[in-house]
């Protein structure tokens, strides 16, 4: 059965961030992910992980000025120095948190920027990031994201992501398969999983189209969870959705799966 990680940026917003680890553990999660840890000293987060026996599964490298709308730096020409500084900081946090996966966001290039130049910048930055991450035992993730939520985001399709992964050629570069984004852009989720599973390092889920609980909307997640088992997927499934109400009240969809993993 899949192992589920609570995304603490979106879930448990009823309590302050550092209290969300305890809430997730009490609901049966064994792993957690979030967008960014950098507002908190790494040791504060490490203490929460230790106290709750949770695994830190994933977080994002610095992504520029998030408040002003930036969504990553890796494919933005001219931002290479800032990108490299961010990778150094992210790997320091990864070491402190025992986290072995780091999501590197491509970003949203200006409309006048050449796509070819952005792609070359992305490949070069990923080559640097994977080289640095390898020394820390960290795998770098890239994730196609739908342009409805993030207009102008550089990386939007599975084939695009896997072609870039192949071009970089690093063994510690994988693709993050977010079923929510993939359904919006491409659909055909089961066939995409079958095609690319060998190079998928992390899976995330949310209901489509509103990004609420996975038992809402058009995607048959029980079918996909069984397919992940059939395909031998051994990674985590991140619960990156916006609860319709109080987080705990909306976890009914997950309880059978948590019971199954707890019994293993």
**Distance (Å, rounded) from C-alpha 108 to C-alpha 43?**
32
Write the DSSP string, 146-160: -TTTSTT-S---HHH
Mean pLDDT, the chain, rounded, equals: 96
Start-to-end Cα distance in the chain: 9
Per annotation, catalytic residue among 23, 33, 213, 240: 240
CATH number at residue 102: 3.20.20.150
- What percent of the chain has pLDDT above 70? 98
When pLDDT is cut at 50, 70 and 90, the band that residue 92 belongs to is very high
Active site residue 143: yes
- Inter-residue contact 126 to 102 (CB < 8 Å): no
Per annotation, catalytic residue among 44, 143, 218, 230: 143
When pLDDT is cut at 50, 70 and 90, the band that residue 209 belongs to is very high
**Distance (Å, rounded) from C-alpha 88 to C-alpha 62?**
10
Q: Name the domain count of the chain.
A: 1
Provide the β-strand partners of residue 106.
72
Active site residue 240: yes
Length of the chain in residues, anyone? 264
Q: Which structure tokens are listed for 126?
A: 């990923």
Sign of the torsion angle spanned by Cα atoms 27, 30, 35, 40: positive
Peptide bond into 165 cis (omega under 30): no
**Distance (Å, rounded) from C-alpha 228 to C-alpha 252?**
21
The pLDDT value recorded for residue 172 is 98
Query: Quick check: 262 pLDDT over 90?
Result: no
When pLDDT is cut at 50, 70 and 90, the band that residue 1 belongs to is confident
Q: Model confidence over 162-206: pLDDT tens digits? A: 999 999 999 999 999 999 999 999 999 999 999 999 999 999 999
Q: Which domain holds residue 178?
A: 3-260
Provide the β-strand partners of residue 237.
4, 203
């Amino acid at each position: 059965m899949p192992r589920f990680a609570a995304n603490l940026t979106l879930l448990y917003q009823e309590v302050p961030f550092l209290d969300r680890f305890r809430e997730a553990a009490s609901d049966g999660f064994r792993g957690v992910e979030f967008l960014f840890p950098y507002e908190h000293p790494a040791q504060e987060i490490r203490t929460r992980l230790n106290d709750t026996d949770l695994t830190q599964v994933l977080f994002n490298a610095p992504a520029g000025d998030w408040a002003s709308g930036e969504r990553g730096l890796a494919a933005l020409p001219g931002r290479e120095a800032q990108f490299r500084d961010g990778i150094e900081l992210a790997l320091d946090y990864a070491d402190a948190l025992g986290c072995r996966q780091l999501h590197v966001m491509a970003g949203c290039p200006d409309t006048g920027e050449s796509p070819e130049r952005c792609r070359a910048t992305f490949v070069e930055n990923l080559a640097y990031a994977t080289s640095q991450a390898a020394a820390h035992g960290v795998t770098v993730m890239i994730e196609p994201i739908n342009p409805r939520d993030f207009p102008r985001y550089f990386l939007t399709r599975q084939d695009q992501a896997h072609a870039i992964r192949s071009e970089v050629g690093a063994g510690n570069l994988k693709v993050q398969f977010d079923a929510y984004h993939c359904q919006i852009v491409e659909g055909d989720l089961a066939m995409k999983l079958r095609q690319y599973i060998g190079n998928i390092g992390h899976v995330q889920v949310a209901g489509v189209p509103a990004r609420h609980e996975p038992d809402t909307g058009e995607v048959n997640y029980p079918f996909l969870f069984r397919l992940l088992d059939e395909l031998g997927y051994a990674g985590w499934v991140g619960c990156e959705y916006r609860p319709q109400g109080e987080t705990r009240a909306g976890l009914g969809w997950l309880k059978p799966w948590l019971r199954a993993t707890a019994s293993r």
